[in-house]
Amino acid sequence: MASSSATAAALVWFRRDLRLHDNPALWAAVRSGRPLVCAFIDDPDAVAQLAPGRASRWWLHHSLAALSRSIRQRGGQLVLRRGDTTSELVRLCGETGSSEVFWNRGDNPTRDSGDTALAARLADRGVKARGFASGTLFNPATHLNGSGKPYRVFTPFWKACLRAPEPSAALPAPDRLPGAAVTASDNLEDWSLRPQAPDWASGFSQDWEPGEDGALNRLEAFLANELADYPQSRDRPDEDGTSRLSPHLAWGEISPRTIWHTVRDHAERGGSFQGGEKFLSELGWRDFAIYLAHHFGSLRDENFNRQFDHFPWRSNPAGLDAWKRGQTGIPIVDAGMRQLWTTGWMHNRVRMITASFLIKHLGVHWRDGMAWFEDTLVDADLNVNAASWQWVAGSGADAAPYFRIFNPVTQGERFDPQGLYVHRWVPELTGLSGKAVHAPWTRPANELIAAGISLGQTYPAPVTDLKTGREQALDAYQTMKARAAETPEAASLETALGN
Ligand SMILES: Cc1cc2nc3c(=O)[nH]c(=O)nc-3n(C[C@H](O)[C@H](O)[C@H](O)COP(=O)(O)OP(=O)(O)OC[C@H]3O[C@@H](n4cnc5c(N)ncnc54)[C@H](O)[C@@H]3O)c2cc1C
């Protein structure tokens, strides 16, 4: 079906790699010397691609607009198509005479196995698929422990990565993208990617600059202003101490190895490397989540530690609803959930606190919290999100033990000591300051009246008593252990998880 002439176009299929620099698939297509067709396909039914949530689709809209501009400036065109991926790729090849499709692999077991099947379907139609790796610092297939098995614990995994050769240098953005004869494209506006009912994302633009330029600007600003203090300030939600590169990474607007080398070059150019090691190790956690999915399959659907299959989760729709709306009456939890809703992002420390509160104090399955984050985070990443939720739940790899239950009040006092983060997102409580803001229900009536707070009226009373919630969580954990011990597979599981 496709033309075999030397001038047949090369089709570059963009996915979660919406960038021109350090894009190996694009680079190889340019080097093939053929005219290019750059395409993005919105496949609503692609289970294999796992459709992004609503906040991510807001990001996608703006990121595609930015990518389209950059491609146009270099003489090409970004073609947008909506429909079944295979059919659209085949159709595009037919329309443009392409005989090869270049893409960067999915970094997700579901997507990768979908890719293999897709490559076979394309081969049947005479189209060659060329896949490249670009989404991680280190190849997830490479590092195994002394017994030849995949690591289950982060520290030895990361040490092994650091002993390996450094990630190769990032590729530059091509100067020119010689476009093939223009082919029809959907109109981005017609895709209605931005949330409409309700349009809660209208304020996101104040916080974010989606697109490759936004990503590179963010990295430069972070290196100049925040990197040196990162090891201390990264845990403080009341400070701007982290890079906020996560949505750019989630959409592939910047590659991890670009970050790696820019951080290292920054030190060599006379900047400080202070903070660099810690910062790069956080990127290592991202690699680890992808590594786990690569070796053990998606963590989205199954407990990594199968003992948790016996966990007695509670049905608590009212609690889940209050949590989503930032109306639990626990200030640091409500602040985090409102930051998420308003900006599409939440500080890492507060993600841990909010997730722990939902799972442990409210007894709600981690999968329900994960689904809400997938829908509302602009940085929603199926591997990282699932691994992180399971980490908090205690069911994941190298997870925090379930019985270590965060107390949201002491967490707030420690990481938001003046209550500034809570004040920002829960303005009802600005009349209280310091530690008092984290536990309004413990304050004397006259103090609350002076602060203009009436619990249950101006701000909710706690949805659960923290002590009771904690005890219920520990009871549930004991129930799980007892149930798991009764199952025949329990002993072998204990052994398997021990390495
Ligand atoms: C319950 C829960 C859910 C999460 N869901 C996501 C998600 O869907 N997408 C996502 O990108 N991150 C997720 N994280 C990890 C982390 O919270 C975010 O990556 C981080 O807050 C992003 O902000 P930043 O870019 O300023 O991070 P920085 O501190 O500047 O870190 C730099 C980069 O390292 C990576 N990183 C940092 N912390 C982690 C971590 N704990 N695990 C894996 N990678 C990390 C991210 O890619 C991040 O952009 C989740 C954490 C928790 C506890």
Residues composing the chain: 499
Domain end residue (candidates: 117, 134, 151)? 134
Nearest CA to ligand 1 atom 43: 286
Nearest CA to ligand 1 atom 24: 244
Phi-psi region of 277 (alpha: psi -120 to 50; beta: other; left: phi over 0): alpha
Whether 251 and 282 share a structural domain: yes
- Continuous segment of H or E residues that includes residue 40: strand 36-42
Q: Is 313 a catalytic residue?
A: yes
Task: With respect to residue 333, please indicate whether it lies within any of the assigned structural domains.
Answer: yes
Cβ < 6 Å from ligand 1: which residues? 234, 242-246, 249-250, 282-283, 285-286, 289, 348, 351-352, 355, 373, 377, 379-381, 384-385, 388-389, 392
- CATH number, domain with residue 107: 3.40.50.620
Write down the pLDDT at residue 4.
Answer: 47
Catalytic residue among 95, 139, 191, 285: 285
Catalytic residue among 389, 391, 425, 428: 389
Whether 227 and 285 share a structural domain: yes
**pLDDT (tens place) for every residue of the chain, 499 residues total:** 444 455 789 999 999 999 999 999 999 999 999 999 999 999 876 644 556 799 999 999 999 999 999 999 999 999 999 998 888 999 999 898 888 999 998 777 666 777 888 899 889 888 999 999 989 999 998 889 999 999 999 999 999 999 999 999 999 999 999 887 777 999 999 999 998 878 888 889 999 999 999 999 999 999 999 999 999 999 999 999 999 999 999 999 999 999 999 999 987 777 667 789 999 999 999 999 999 999 998 899 899 999 999 999 999 999 999 999 999 999 999 999 999 999 999 999 999 999 999 999 999 999 999 999 999 999 999 999 999 999 999 999 988 899 999 999 999 999 999 999 999 999 999 999 999 999 999 999 999 999 999 999 999 999 999 999 999 999 999 999 999 998 866 545 544 444 3
- ipTM score: 0.99
Q: Is 230 labelled as part of a ligand binding site?
A: yes
- CATH number, domain with residue 237: 1.25.40.80
Contact 8, 99 (CB under 8 A): yes
Distance CA 132, CA 106 (A): 9
The pTM score is 0.95
Task: With respect to residue 116, please indicate whether it lies within any of the assigned structural domains.
Answer: yes
Over residues 187-219, the pLDDT tens digits come to: 999 999 998 878 888 889 999 999 999 999 999
- The residue type at 133: A
Q: Is 22 labelled as part of a ligand binding site?
A: no
In degrees rounded to 5, what are phi and psi of residue 14? -85, 145
Is 100 in a helix, a strand, or coil? strand
- Alpha carbon 341 to its chain's center: 16
Domain end residue (candidates: 108, 134, 160)? 134
Residue 244: both structure tokens together = 């906020």
Over residues 125-149, the pLDDT tens digits come to: 889 999 999 899 999 988 899 999 9
Burial of 163 (0-12, 13-18, 19+ CB in 10 A): exposed
Q: Is 441 a catalytic residue?
A: no
CB proximity list for 43: less than 8 A, separation 6 or greater: 49, 51, 82, 83, 84, 85, 88
Write down the pLDDT at residue 1.
Answer: 47
Whether 32 and 154 share a structural domain: no
Write down the pLDDT at residue 32.
Answer: 93
Is 272 in a helix, a strand, or coil? coil
Nearest CA to ligand 1 atom 53: 352
Cα of 487 from ligand 1 centre, angstroms: 36
Cα of 431 from ligand 1 centre, angstroms: 32
- The residue type at 27: W
Whether 344 and 489 share a structural domain: yes
Whether 45 and 142 share a structural domain: no
Q: What is the DSSP letter of 360?
A: I
Contact 248, 254 (CB under 8 A): yes
- What are the start-end ranges of the H helices in 180-255? 212-225, 230-233, 246-250
Neighbours of 53 (CB within 10 A): 21
Number of domains present in the structure of the chain: 3
Whether 71 and 58 share a structural domain: yes
Cα of 220 from ligand 1 centre, angstroms: 19
Whether 246 and 386 share a structural domain: no
- CATH number, domain with residue 453: 1.10.579.10
Whether 216 and 354 share a structural domain: no
Cα of 136 from ligand 1 centre, angstroms: 14
Whether 163 and 265 share a structural domain: yes
Q: Is 246 labelled as part of a ligand binding site?
A: yes
Over residues 39-66, the pLDDT tens digits come to: 999 987 664 455 679 999 999 999 999 9
DSSP-derived pairing of the beta strands 36-42 and 100-104: unpaired
Distance CA 386, CA 458 (A): 35
Whether 58 and 109 share a structural domain: yes
Contact 145, 156 (CB under 8 A): yes
Contact 25, 104 (CB under 8 A): yes
Write down the pLDDT at residue 498.
Answer: 41
Residue 92: both structure tokens together = 């595009």
Q: Is 236 labelled as part of a ligand binding site?
A: no
Q: Is 425 a catalytic residue?
A: no
Catalytic residue among 209, 348, 407, 441: 348
Domain of 284 in residue numbering reads as: 136-169+211-297
Q: Is 285 a catalytic residue?
A: yes
Q: Is 60 labelled as part of a ligand binding site?
A: no
As a whole-number percent, the residues of the chain with pLDDT over 70 amount to: 94
Q: What is the DSSP letter of 180?
A: P
Task: With respect to residue 187, please indicate whether it lies within any of the assigned structural domains.
Answer: no
Write down the pLDDT at residue 497.
Answer: 46
CB proximity list for 391: less than 8 A, separation 6 or greater: 397, 398, 399, 400
Task: With respect to residue 223, please indicate whether it lies within any of the assigned structural domains.
Answer: yes
Domain end residue (candidates: 245, 264, 297)? 297
- Continuous segment of H or E residues that includes residue 491: helix 490-497
Ligand 1 mutation pick, 235, 286, 287, 370, max ligand atoms within 8 A of CB: 286
Whether 105 and 158 share a structural domain: no
Catalytic residue among 95, 239, 282, 302: 282
Whether 70 and 145 share a structural domain: no
Write down the pLDDT at residue 2.
Answer: 43
